[in-house]
Amino acid sequence: MVLIAPSILSADFGRLREEVEAIEKAGADMLHCDIMDGHYVPNLTFGPGVLQSIRPYTKLDFDVHLMVKKPDKMLEWFAKAGADILTVHAEACPHLDRTLAEIRALGLKAGVSLNPATSEEVLAYVLDKINQVLVMTVNPGFGGQSFIPAQLAKISRIKEMVKGRDIKIEVDGGINPLTAAECTAAGADILVAGTAVFAGGDYKKNIDALR
């Protein structure tokens, strides 16, 4: 069954604890945490302190997506803050194999994210070190963007590439009930959604619609 990972970037940060508890109660499978540094992407979000503050209030895995210029210096910060999965951008890691090895040495699951213009071929030599691949179906940096259909073929190619391995394919960007169906048909296992989950306030209904 497809897993739903609501992005807390779309939550009400004035009542973040309540939002996290509500999302878990509504049936979310994990919590997607978009970390942006204002350098790798043109936006700034939050740091490990926010994660640490909500860690006691949910049993959901923290799926931490590092959209940052220098992820290596932040790995231990987010590990200590309660991350379960750390995903780094292939484009931001000059030594991707080493970065992934460091994530796993911290006892966490490791993921690689690919921007829309990045080929899946960069994964070929690190398949033994990853637990998931995050396909960006929008250009990273802001919520509410339109889905890029060309990424569906990339999802299918990655599905073939990871066949026989315990590697999940996650998609992030422009996910709604229609694009969710297209992504899962192409081979996606995890759907990240912000607006589609938090809009309107009926989180369970929204999650069920995506599933």
pLDDT in tens, 175-205: 999 999 999 999 999 999 999 999 999 999 9
pLDDT-based confidence at 9, cuts 50/70/90? very high
Residue 172 appears among annotated catalytic residues = yes
Q: Known catalytic residue: 34?
A: yes
Choosing from 34, 37, 63, 189, which is the catalytic residue?
A: 34
CA-based nearest residue to 92, from 64, 73, 78: 73
71: DSSP letter: G
pTM (predicted TM-score): 0.96
Q: Considering the candidates 29, 37, 63, 172, report the single residue annotated as catalytic.
A: 172
- CB of 151 closer than 8 Å to CB of 171: yes
d(C-alpha 55, C-alpha 31), whole Å: 11
| C-alpha span between 188 and 174 (Å, rounded) | 14
pLDDT in tens, 98-149: 999 999 999 999 999 999 999 999 999 999 999 999 999 999 887 677 899 9
Instruction: Give, to the nearest 10 degrees, the angle between helix 177-186 and helix 203-210.
Output: 40
Alpha-carbon distance of 73 to 187, in angstroms, equals: 33
Quote the tokens at residue 127.
Answer: 């398949």
